[in-house]
Amino acid sequence: MSTIRSACCVRCPPRWLLLRVETEDGAVGWGEAIGDLHEEVENALNALGERVEGASIHDITRTIEVLRKSRFWRDGPIMDTAISALEMAMWDLKGQELGAPIHELLGGRVRDKVRVYRNLWGRNPEEFANSAIEAISQSMTAVKVSPAGPTQGIVSRNSLQEMVDVVQAVRDAVGSHIDLAVDLHGRLTPAASRRAIHALSPYDLFFIEEPCLPDGSASHIADLRALRTAQPVAIATGERLRSPHSFATHILPNPVIDIIQPDVSMVGGIRSTIEIGAMASAAQISLAPHCPYGPIQFAASMQIAATSPAHLIQEFQSLGGAGQGGGSPGGGQNWAFELLERPFEIQAGYVEIPTGPGLDVRIQEDRIDEHMDMWNPHPPSVWSHPDGSHAEW
């Protein structure tokens, strides 16, 4: 039975934090954490690595339970993302040892390929439209745009028109046969989102994501339920939720949204995301995991998509590339190097389910070292309103 010899954080440009786990027999498994809180998360990954030395790669649930519950203070985004990275790396190793993809160990496939989409990049309607044209030239059949800038609690006519202009430009550019989703990124209050959804509905949207900022309160649940039932566009949320209770309150007993978006690198890893998908399936809502970081996170999300009946579509940022790139206004991706030896490929809007053992990824570690001058762990943007007060990013 293989045991863990070492586990350590690996920085990967542009700002991703990977977890490299090696067993006593030399096998290497990979996980990925959320890197927005770089110093804290990196320290947590390395500390976690010391605690799991000697643990069996087969006792995944036991190891995660002990790590999560053996401290008086539990949970929190830093510990949650570190544990998530470890969990997916252990599944990667277990699959390698057993010679099977992770989804085969979790019940097998319910589909042969996974539909994917990515965000568009731009600073004005024309650039967003050009980015959309580039995306569909890469065989994508669905895209997502974030049209909202800093938005006051009661949205102005001008701010609302700016959102409409972006969405209209993208819809005109891609035509009616491409699915177009809108991400409001929690930048709007419930009052502002009501007006925004009404104004954007004529553009035949696939879904609207995070129409208002989730705060876990009963009033937030009530706002989402009202938004869902008052208009025809599907409502999506979930990337900021971490606890099973938070997901349960959004899904059961009566769903307040149409699409749930857990992040495999935050909610506890692969098994937790599948469990959230099971709740979604029971409630007849869809699963569309959040995935805005590197290809390890995407690879783990693909294993979930393979075996979860509720899965609808998969977000991605990188299918294998790393370093400078990611997204240019008005364009597409232009990564500096390939992190994966065999990047994922899109064909007619879909990516084939991996069939190799574990996550079925081969990391080119030497390429990371060659490009570490591109490491740029910048924090998220900080926005403000014209009066200087804080605006949601």
Are residue 25 and residue 157 in the same domain, yes or no? Answer: no
Question: In the chain, how many domains are there?
Answer: 2
The answer to whether residue 379 sits within a structural domain is no
Instruction: Report the alpha-carbon distance of residue 170 to residue 167 in Å, rounded.
Output: 5
Domain end among 73, 99, 125:
99
- The residues that are catalytic are 185, 290
- Backbone angle region of 281, left / alpha / beta, with phi > 0 → left and psi within -120 to 50 → alpha: alpha
Do 67 and 87 have their domain in common? yes
Ramachandran bin of 14, using left for φ above 0, alpha for ψ from -120 to 50, beta for the remaining angles: alpha
**Considering 83, 99, 115, which residue would you say is the last residue of a domain?**
99
In a shared domain, residues 9 and 38: yes
Domain span at 250 = 104-359
- Integer Cα distance of 83 and 79 in angstroms: 6
**Quick one: 55 and 123 in the same domain?**
no
Residue 389 has pLDDT above 90, yes or no: yes
Residue 310, both tokens: 């509720």
In a domain, residue 367? The reply is: no
Least confident range of 102-106, 116-120, 181-185, 332-336: 332-336
Per-residue confidence (pLDDT) for residue 1, from 0 to 100? 59
Number of H helices, E strands in the chain: 12, 16
CA distance between the termini of the chain: 47
Q: Strand 337-338 relative to strand 321-322: parallel, antiparallel, unpaired?
A: antiparallel
What band does 122 get if pLDDT is binned at 50, 70 and 90? Answer: very high
Task: Note whether 30 and 128 are same-domain residues.
Answer: no
Q: What is the mean pLDDT of residues 152-163?
A: 95
- Give, in degrees to the nearest 5, the angle at Cα 240 between 235 and 241: 85
Is residue 374 a part of any domain in this protein?
no
Residues 147 and 187 in one domain: yes
So what's the pLDDT on residue 326?
Answer: 76
Report the C-alpha gap between 343 and 353 in whole angstroms.
Answer: 13
Residue 90 in domain: yes
Instruction: Give yes or no for a contact between 331 and 134, defined as CB atoms under 8 angstroms apart.
Output: yes
pLDDT digits (tens, 9 = 90+) for 209-236: 999 988 768 888 999 999 999 999 999 9
Q: What is the mean pLDDT of the chain?
A: 95
Please give the share of the chain, as a percent, with pLDDT higher than 90: 89
pLDDT at 291 > cutoff 70 = yes
CATH of the domain at 127: 3.20.20.120
Domain-embedded: residue 189: yes
Residue 214 lies in a domain: yes
Q: Which of 176, 166, 175 is nearest to 129 (CA)?
A: 166
Taking only Cα atoms into account, the Rg of the chain, rounded to an integer number of angstroms, comes to: 20
Q: Over range 25-37, report the average pLDDT.
A: 93
The pLDDT value given to residue 224: 93
On the question of pLDDT at 46 being above 90, the answer is: yes
Last residue within a domain, chosen from 99, 124, 141: 99
Residues 163, 59, single domain; the answer is no
User: 137 pLDDT band (50/70/90 cuts)?
Assistant: very high
Beta carbons of 259 and 234 less than 8 angstroms apart: yes
- In the chain, how long is the greatest CA-to-CA distance? 64
Range list of H helices, 202-307: 218-230, 244-251, 270-282, 295-307
Across the range 206-210, mean pLDDT stands at 98
Contacts of 234 (CB under 8 A, 6+ apart): 205, 206, 207, 208, 258, 259, 286
Answer yes or no: do 216 and 265 share one domain.
Answer: yes
Given the structure tokens 């203070």, which residue do they identify? 73
